[in-house]
């Protein structure tokens, strides 16, 4: 009886409104992902006008499954179900691994498609964006797993990982409503910087929350956000380098 009472007290403490911040942030990430891809994927898919390879469909399925997984995990943690949260973490490792694999395969598919459109070099240059993005996600996720016994670091790294892959969804709105009509093919690499900045606003919200509650911003947010934005900016010169074109071009040659 004493154990049950203590467990209820722990759950009541852990279920305070402040504990639900990361759950709400996970909901925001999931909503951003869904609304971002709605104009170019979900709506055409519902009208049966979307044409894509199985790799693209599997890629989309796995990434959206991750969004819902992240929501469930943050809810479990916020409601005090820590044991369930940790047990369910094995699913996250499997999902993240699949995301890394299919993220790479989707990048190669886009390069092949660009080559078929006669835009081989543009496709090779743009490949730096999805490949570096999924690499950043994978590294941050591994760091989060390594810090599972340090919850203050772990949960911030997980949010950083979730936000880092939202620029693709936000970019769809830029392309749909702001980009001028043009020939099919990959967009210029520099236009991917603005969506990344918009996605990072979610991290700014988390920083403000840290400042108000803790009196300081956690280093994970400071260094993580700087690293994320630096990566997006550096994609531009790297995409135009001979070294990148040789590297990605070699991958494309093997895939064709």
pLDDT digits (tens, 9 = 90+) for 93-143: 999 999 999 999 999 999 999 999 899 999 999 999 999 999 999 999 999
**Which residues of the chain form beta strands (DSSP E)?**
none
What's the pLDDT score for residue 17? 57
45 band by pLDDT with thresholds 50, 70 and 90: confident
What's the pLDDT score for residue 180? 60
pTM for this model (two decimals): 0.89
Of 3-17, 24-38, 176-190, minimum mean pLDDT range: 3-17
Quote the tokens at residue 224: 């993580």
Of 104-118, 176-190, 202-216, minimum mean pLDDT range: 176-190
Q: Which residues lie closer than 8 Å to 179 by C-beta, 6 or more apart?
A: 187, 191
What's the pLDDT score for residue 13? 45
Structure-derived torsion over alpha carbons of residues 139, 143, 144, 147, reported in degrees to the nearest 10: 170
Of 83, 87, 130, which is closest to residue 109 (Cα–Cα)? Answer: 130
Half-sphere exposure for 109 (CA within 13 Å, toward CB): 14
């Amino acid at each position: 009886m004493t154990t049950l009472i203590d467990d209820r007290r722990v759950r009541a403490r852990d279920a305070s409104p402040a504990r639900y911040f990361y759950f709400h942030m996970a909901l925001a990430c999931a909503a951003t992902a869904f609304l971002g891809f709605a104009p170019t994927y979900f709506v055409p898919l519902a009208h049966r006008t979307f044409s894509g390879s199985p790799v693209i469909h599997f890629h989309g399925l796995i990434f959206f499954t991750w969004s819902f997984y992240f929501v469930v995990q943050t809810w479990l943690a916020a409601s005090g179900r820590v044991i369930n949260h940790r047990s369910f973490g094995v699913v996250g490792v499997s999902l993240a691994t699949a995301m890394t694999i299919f993220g790479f395969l989707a990048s190669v598919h886009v390069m092949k498609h660009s080559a078929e459109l006669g835009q081989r070099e543009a496709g090779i240059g743009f490949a730096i964006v999805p490949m570096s993005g999924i690499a950043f996600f994978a590294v941050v996720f591994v760091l989060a797993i390594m810090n599972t016994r340090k919850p203050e670091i772990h949960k911030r790294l997980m949010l950083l990982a979730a936000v880092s892959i939202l620029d693709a969804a936000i970019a769809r709105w830029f392309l749909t409503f702001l980009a001028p009509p043009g020939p099919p093919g990959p967009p210029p690499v520099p236009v991917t910087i603005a969506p990344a900045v918009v996605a990072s606003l979610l991290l700014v919200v988390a920083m403000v929350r840290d400042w108000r509650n803790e009196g300081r911003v956690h280093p994970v947010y400071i260094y993580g956000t700087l690293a994320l934005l630096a990566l997006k900016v550096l994609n531009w010169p790297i995409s135009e380098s001979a070294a990148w074109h040789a590297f990605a071009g070699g991958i494309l040659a093997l895939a064709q």
